[in-house]
Amino acid sequence: MTTEAKAEQMTFQAEVNQLLKLMIHSLYSNQEIFLRELISNGSDACDKLRFEAIADASLLEDDSELQLTVQYDSDAKTITVTDNGIGMNRDEVIGNIGTIAKSGTKQFLESLSGDQAADAQLIGQFGVGFYSAFVVADKVSLTTRRAGDPADSATRWVSDGTGGYTLENTTKESRGTEIVLSIKDDSTEFLSGWRLRGIIKKYSDHITFPIMMYEENPAPLPKDEDDAEDDKEPETPEPQLEKINAASALWTRPKSEISDEDYQAFYKQICHDYEDPLAWTHNRVEGNQEYTTLLYVPKKAPFDLYESMDRAGGVKLFVQRVFIMDEAEKLMPRYLRFVRGLVDSNDLPLNVSREILQNSKAIESIRGGSVKKILSLLEGIAEKEPEKYLDFWNEFGRALKEAPGEDFANREQVAGLYRFDSTKGDKPGDLVSLADYIVRMQPGQDKIYYITADSYTAAKNSPHLEIFADRGIEVLLMHDRVDEWMMGYLNEFDGKQFMSVAKGELNLEGVGTETKKDDDAEDADVESLTKRLKSVLGERTEDVRPSQRLTSSPACVVLGEHEMALHMQQLMKQAGHDVPGSKPILEFNASHPILKLLDQESDEDRFASWSELLLDQAMLADGAQLEDGAGFVKRMNEMFIALHQSSES
């Protein structure tokens, strides 16, 4: 078969070596998945060929029954996985097998902790793929020929999984890929028909192409008995290939015939996940449009869900059971990019392309329907299994928060799925839904109050909350980076307006329990104090005014209703964005002892210093960074000295 050509020696990328070592280690207790991975690749290769053959039937040559074969040889200690799918040319072998084509591999490797159990899980999420062969094999030989290429243009790739591989040109009569694993001495348990059949049933039953194995001989062949004696009896007949898997498209079967285990196994197979999914929804839609969706919500977010914003959705598109494309991003909005599974349409043309999908009305309506299904699936979990829902929320909540900016029509329904920390919770993670918040609103309250900050603690301790605490009004504590952005798009929920407690004018007249105003206490002279403060702080502030918000803090800064929170401005600046400088409004608490002292301060220089200090600390409490940190420290120190001197005199 092989033309004698010199094999070329190649070395792996550094990442390949690192990943291989990790994988062999991490998958030690779950070695059998190597077969699932190779079968899955073979099945993908058949899918791709079937798709390309729509445009060019000659690619199928005279071999149109796409299938996979698994064979083993106990004497040679090999397992061979073959497919007659699309195959690869030499460049593709180098690009796909010799390197890790996936973007983000480096980042992935950096995210590993060294804790084996945790890392194994991450590797599962990453998708172990072809290299899992090295978990059971100490040598892997892959021979492949791309459909449509001549027989003598095949490529053989051989590696022992340490350091590098060899590549040579060869001849292969049939198109597709053959992978021969030389099984390690401690993995010989896999050299068993019974074992291999079990693994195929377990992981690959729903592969849509037949997976074939040779029938097992019921009894060992009598070898050296007198076979010459009976010449008429033919030798033991050649073992026949038999189909091991169900090989039917799971999603086309009636729901009533599919068990949870079937759904789970199918998920693991098509989504290459290690773990069971969190939930799924399977629907057949008839009428104007005919299509089937089988959509899954995974348990864990992929490690790069939030880093790579352009990550395409994990929903595959089929047309009349023929696989068309992976990650058809048009099928899911971005905020649902964690959803996996498939859509099988009866109406789209088989030769549909990504360009056609861009403007397809059919796709738009499938997408609309799919979004509704996912949202109601999540609502169901939230209602019936709140604990499970929290798990979901912790993994994927941040993605859902992108919805108001992206999916205007569904923003309110998605907002119903949101959970936030709140001033009614004792600790971070005591989350509340917007619906629950509304139920707990105070008499007279018609707004949903929230604060954004860059941490739970900063939100929880903000001076802006004082008056709300005083009046028993709950405030949502939003401390996720996307929250401030999200609230720019979310104006109301259930007819109630959202209102930031740190922005705009506050009017709590008649809301909650009225505070008893301590009329006897002498407040600072508000009018003259306002004037004096303004004259000192006029440059740095938009306005200075007495506050309705404060009970125990001396001062706070307030922003205009449509202005970006200070901690966000800070972040944007750090990220190199131009932030239009907006000046805050300083609100002071006239009944606070510091303000009373300030009011009595007759030394104008000192008054100016103290006033600056008042503004500085209000800014700090709001998560802003001071432009003149050194000036702040200097004023602080001066104040200490002044206090010391006044206590001495």
Taking CB under 6 A as the binding criterion, the range among 78-86, 150-158, 245-253, 489-497 that sits at the site for ligand ADP is 78-86
Smallest separation, CB 122 to ligand ADP (Å): 15
Q: Does 124 bind ligand ADP (CB under 6 A)?
A: no
Applying CB under 6 A, among 104, 127, 164, 425 the residue interacting with ligand ADP is 127
In the complex with ligand ADP, the residue whose CB is nearer, 83 or 622, is 83
Applying CB under 6 A, among 124, 129, 277, 314 the residue interacting with ligand ADP is 129
The residues, any chain, with a CB within 8 Å of residue 23's CB and separated by 6 or more, are 123, 128, 131, 132, 134, 135
What span, in angstroms and rounded, lies between the C-alpha atoms of 312 and 239? 45
Smallest separation, CB 127 to ligand ADP (Å): 5
Using CB under 6 A, which residues numbered 162 to 181 contact ligand ADP?
A: 177
| Residues contacting ligand ADP: total by CB under 6 A | 15
Residue type present at position 90: R
Using CB under 6 A, which residues numbered 451 to 470 contact ligand ADP?
A: none
Is 156 within 8 Å of 142 (Cβ atoms)? Answer: yes
Smallest separation, CB 101 to ligand ADP (Å): 6
What span, in angstroms and rounded, lies between the C-alpha atoms of 56 and 297? 36
Q: Does 154 bind ligand ADP (CB under 6 A)?
A: no
Applying CB under 6 A, among 16, 19, 53, 86 the residue interacting with ligand ADP is 86
Smallest separation, CB 184 to ligand ADP (Å): 20
Taking CB under 6 A as the binding criterion, the range among 79-87, 254-262, 327-335, 599-607 that sits at the site for ligand ADP is 79-87
What span, in angstroms and rounded, lies between the C-alpha atoms of 106 and 120? 16
In the complex with ligand ADP, the residue whose CB is nearer, 105 or 365, is 105
Smallest separation, CB 48 to ligand ADP (Å): 7
Applying CB under 6 A, among 47, 83, 205, 563 the residue interacting with ligand ADP is 83
The residues, any chain, with a CB within 8 Å of residue 613's CB and separated by 6 or more, are 632, 635, 636, 639
Q: Does 97 bind ligand ADP (CB under 6 A)?
A: yes
What span, in angstroms and rounded, lies between the C-alpha atoms of 210 and 214? 13
Which of 153, 158, 203 is closest to 41 using CA atoms? Answer: 203
Smallest separation, CB 323 to ligand ADP (Å): 14
Is 38 within 8 Å of 179 (Cβ atoms)? Answer: yes
Q: Does 53 bind ligand ADP (CB under 6 A)?
A: no
Q: Does 66 bind ligand ADP (CB under 6 A)?
A: no
Taking the CB of residue 221, how many other CB atoms lie within 10 A of it?
8
Smallest separation, CB 313 to ligand ADP (Å): 16
Taking CB under 6 A as the binding criterion, the range among 59-67, 83-91, 192-200, 542-550 that sits at the site for ligand ADP is 83-91
Smallest separation, CB 85 to ligand ADP (Å): 5
What span, in angstroms and rounded, lies between the C-alpha atoms of 336 and 297? 9
Question: In the numeric block, which tokens belong to residue 32?
Answer: 């059998």
Residue nearest ligand ADP, Cβ-based: 129
Q: Does 270 bind ligand ADP (CB under 6 A)?
A: no
Q: Does 41 bind ligand ADP (CB under 6 A)?
A: yes
Applying CB under 6 A, among 16, 35, 45, 207 the residue interacting with ligand ADP is 45
In the complex with ligand ADP, the residue whose CB is nearer, 130 or 214, is 130
In the complex with ligand ADP, the residue whose CB is nearer, 97 or 332, is 97
Q: Does 302 bind ligand ADP (CB under 6 A)?
A: no
In the complex with ligand ADP, the residue whose CB is nearer, 130 or 303, is 130
Smallest separation, CB 179 to ligand ADP (Å): 7
Q: Does 324 bind ligand ADP (CB under 6 A)?
A: no
With tokens 């090989």, the residue in question is 247
Smallest separation, CB 107 to ligand ADP (Å): 16
Which of 329, 345, 333, 343 is closest to 288 using CA atoms? Answer: 345
Length of the chain: 649
> What are the strands of the beta sheet with 78-83, ordered from one edge?
8-11, 164-170, 154-159, 137-145, 176-183, 78-83, 68-73, 211-214, 241-243
Is 171 within 8 Å of 154 (Cβ atoms)? Answer: yes
The residues, any chain, with a CB within 8 Å of residue 443's CB and separated by 6 or more, are 511, 512
Taking the CB of residue 489, how many other CB atoms lie within 10 A of it?
16
In the complex with ligand ADP, the residue whose CB is nearer, 312 or 390, is 312
Residue type present at position 476: L
In the complex with ligand ADP, the residue whose CB is nearer, 83 or 466, is 83
Q: State the sign of the Cα–Cα–Cα–Cα dihedral 422, 426, 431, 436.
A: negative
Q: Does 130 bind ligand ADP (CB under 6 A)?
A: yes
Smallest separation, CB 143 to ligand ADP (Å): 11
Q: State the sign of the Cα–Cα–Cα–Cα dihedral 34, 36, 40, 42.
A: positive
Strand partners, 493: 496
In the complex with ligand ADP, the residue whose CB is nearer, 87 or 341, is 87
Taking CB under 6 A as the binding criterion, the range among 124-132, 191-199, 439-447, 504-512 that sits at the site for ligand ADP is 124-132
In the complex with ligand ADP, the residue whose CB is nearer, 199 or 508, is 199
Q: Does 42 bind ligand ADP (CB under 6 A)?
A: yes
Applying CB under 6 A, among 96, 442, 551, 570 the residue interacting with ligand ADP is 96
With tokens 């990328």, the residue in question is 13
DSSP per residue over 60-113, as a string? GTT-----EEEEEETTTTEEEEEE-S----HHHHHHHHSS--STTHHHHHHT--
Smallest separation, CB 32 to ligand ADP (Å): 16
In the complex with ligand ADP, the residue whose CB is nearer, 87 or 277, is 87
Taking CB under 6 A as the binding criterion, the range among 80-88, 224-232, 476-484, 501-509 that sits at the site for ligand ADP is 80-88
Is 452 within 8 Å of 565 (Cβ atoms)? Answer: yes
What span, in angstroms and rounded, lies between the C-alpha atoms of 310 and 4? 46
In the complex with ligand ADP, the residue whose CB is nearer, 157 or 280, is 157
Applying CB under 6 A, among 66, 85, 134, 300 the residue interacting with ligand ADP is 85
What span, in angstroms and rounded, lies between the C-alpha atoms of 383 and 379? 6
Taking CB under 6 A as the binding criterion, the range among 25-33, 35-43, 350-358, 595-603 that sits at the site for ligand ADP is 35-43
Applying CB under 6 A, among 23, 88, 135, 550 the residue interacting with ligand ADP is 88
Task: Provide the angle, in degrees to the nearest 10, between the axes of the packed helices 33-55 and 193-204.
Answer: 60
In the complex with ligand ADP, the residue whose CB is nearer, 177 or 553, is 177
Which of 520, 613, 495, 595 is closest to 551 using CA atoms? Answer: 595
What span, in angstroms and rounded, lies between the C-alpha atoms of 273 and 127? 7
Taking the CB of residue 552, how many other CB atoms lie within 10 A of it?
11
Contact residues toward ligand ADP (CB under 6 A) are: 37, 41-42, 45, 83, 85-88, 96-97, 127, 129-130, 177
